[in-house]
Structures are given as C-alpha cells and as structure tokens.
Structure 1
C-alpha cells in the first residue's frame, strides 16, 4: 500500500492513568471524526480503562490473579492521575474542572469512540498475565495479540504509544 493511501491511526494504550487514558481517547475520537480508521490496542495497565466496575470474580482464578484483580482499578471511574493524585483528590478535582468546561468524561469518550467505530483491542497475552477474563471487560471489544496490532500498525500512517 502506498504511503499516501494509508489512512489509519493505531495506538498502544499501555498506561491506566486517567489523564493518559483521556489523551488516548481524545486523539482516537478526533482521528475517527476526521475519517481515519482507528485501532486502540490496550495492554498491561491500559486494560484497567476497559474494566467493568461491578463484576464478580471468577472462582476459577488463581490466588495471584485474585490479588491482581483487587489491586487494579475497575474501569474509567476509578483511575488515578499520573501526577497530583493526592490520595484520590486529584481525579475528583480534574473531573470537576472537566465538567465545568464541558469536557466529556472518560466514560463518555469511550462511548463516543465506540459510536465512531474505533476498534478497541484487548491484548490477550496481557489479559492472561494479569488474570483478566473477557467478562470483566466492557462489551464491544476485540481480543488479539501483538501480531494483530503490528499488522494494523504497518498499514497505518500514524502510530502512537500512550
């Protein structure tokens, strides 16, 4: 495929901090609104952005998987800030400021991304390492490994790591 024909944006979402997740979704929805084909590949801590908030633990999990489950934040509403977290006050202040300035919440941005057909892919290897099961993540995701991401990245003209 010739360079000028490429119209994709791929993004590795590695971090689960609120501010970095927000930046990822702002870029993804902006690119999708411009007509780009967008793929977000969530791996390691980035998977916490996609976690459902109220899911019961599978009884088939190992002790270590259950420990990871308890230690990791559940979904966009529980993410901390990368800077100025202040025991949870930072995210509350940030969300208040966003609301005051009519900025969509992270949950709203996730829904917007889905409406814009942004492909969200959960890394299956990271899910295995962290003991995450498909039923613990939001609906509408695809599940794949790094080879799938690299194939899409090769066909895109913008590739980001957040």
Structure 2
C-alpha cells in the first residue's frame, strides 16, 4: 500500500502518524508558523492536533465582542487581550502595530495564506483544534467568545494525543 505521503507499507497495518502542537504564544509570526507546520503535516497524512493554551487562545477569539457575564478581573483580561487572529502582534519588530501590517502586506504580495486562511485550511483538513479549559477559566474566556468548531479539554487530553505523537512541538 502507498499512502498519500508516498510511504510504502507492506505486510503490516498502516498506522497514521500523529503530530501535536502546543500553541502557547499569541504572537502572529509564531501562530503562522504553527499553522503552516500543522497544515503541512496534515498534507503528509499525519493526524494533527493543536492544543491552544494561555495567549495562544487569543487567535481563537471571535472578532466581534460577545456579551457574557463576567467578574471585573475576567473583563479586564478580555479588554487587554487581542480578539482574534487579525489583532495579533509580532514577537519582534512589532513597531506599535506597524510590523503586523507590514508582514501581512508581504505575505499577500507573495500569495502566502493569511492566518485566518491557514486556520480555515486546518479546519478543512480535519486538524483538531483544542482549547485548554483550565486556561479559559484562568483568563475568564467562555466558549461563546471563541470560534465555532473547537474541542474543549484539559492537559490530560493533550497528553493522550502527544503520547502517541511522532512529532510534538511547543510554540
């Protein structure tokens, strides 16, 4: 048997390789890299899981404000954190928001997919997007504030995926 990635498997059961990514960073360049790797792994027939924790959860936030009941501290976190992939800063050379605009321009000029397009491609390829429930509780994020189509789980679920992973990354 020959897999989609060109792997030849003879006289044994094919075991689909797994790739897992912990996306801790909420910075645009790191998020783009994570999604390029995830989509590439999926294209090579890997089962892929991205586990979003801490600042990485910000790219899963809906662009629009969602009214929810929260305490003062949870509201404060919501005000301070970027809402969605279009609002993320760069890890270096952010230049008060000018850096992300420059990198988006260069990406468009070179016909590279934007972060929202990479997220959509990941969903189309069946990549599991898991939001860390413990971090959601800590930061006061609610499911209604996040994009549709996510799974919600704690670190145990990620560890279960990672224990079978051929590639495990922390970004």
Interval containing the TM-score (normalised by the shorter chain): over 0.9
Q: Do the aligned partners of 2:16 and 2:47 also contact (CA within 8 Å) in 1?
A: no
Would you identify which runs of 4 or more consecutive aligned residues in structure 1 move more than 3 Å? none
- Greater RCO, 1 or 2 (C-alpha within 8 Å, sep 6+): 1
Please report the TM-score for the alignment, with normalisation by the length of structure 1. Answer: 0.95
| Whole-angstrom CA distance in 2 between matches of 1:148 and 1:25 | 20
Q: Comparing both structures, which one devotes a greater share of its residues to helix?
A: 1
Q: CA deviation at 1:156?
A: 1.0
Matched, 1:9 2:23: no
Structure 1 unmatched ranges of 5 or more? none
Q: Do the aligned partners of 1:25 and 1:110 also contact (CA within 8 Å) in 2?
A: yes
Query: Structure 2 residue aligned with 1:50, among 51, 60, 69?
Result: 60
Give 3-state SS (helix, strand or coil) of 1:122's partner: strand
Q: CA deviation at 1:86?
A: 0.2
| Whole-angstrom CA distance in 2 between matches of 1:104 and 1:155 | 30
| Whole-angstrom CA distance in 2 between matches of 1:75 and 1:7 | 30
Aligned length: 158
Give 3-state SS (helix, strand or coil) of 2:156's partner: helix
Structure 2 unmatched ranges of 5 or more? 1-13
Give 3-state SS (helix, strand or coil) of 2:134's partner: helix
Query: Structure 2 residue aligned with 1:89, among 79, 84, 98?
Result: 98
Query: Structure 2 residue aligned with 1:70, among 73, 76, 79?
Result: 79
Matched, 1:157 2:166: yes
Give 3-state SS (helix, strand or coil) of 1:10's partner: strand
Alignment RMSD: 1.0
| Whole-angstrom CA distance in 2 between matches of 1:147 and 1:56 | 29
Q: CA deviation at 1:7?
A: 0.5
Please report the TM-score for the alignment, with normalisation by the length of structure 2. Answer: 0.90
Query: Structure 2 residue aligned with 1:121, among 110, 130, 133?
Result: 130
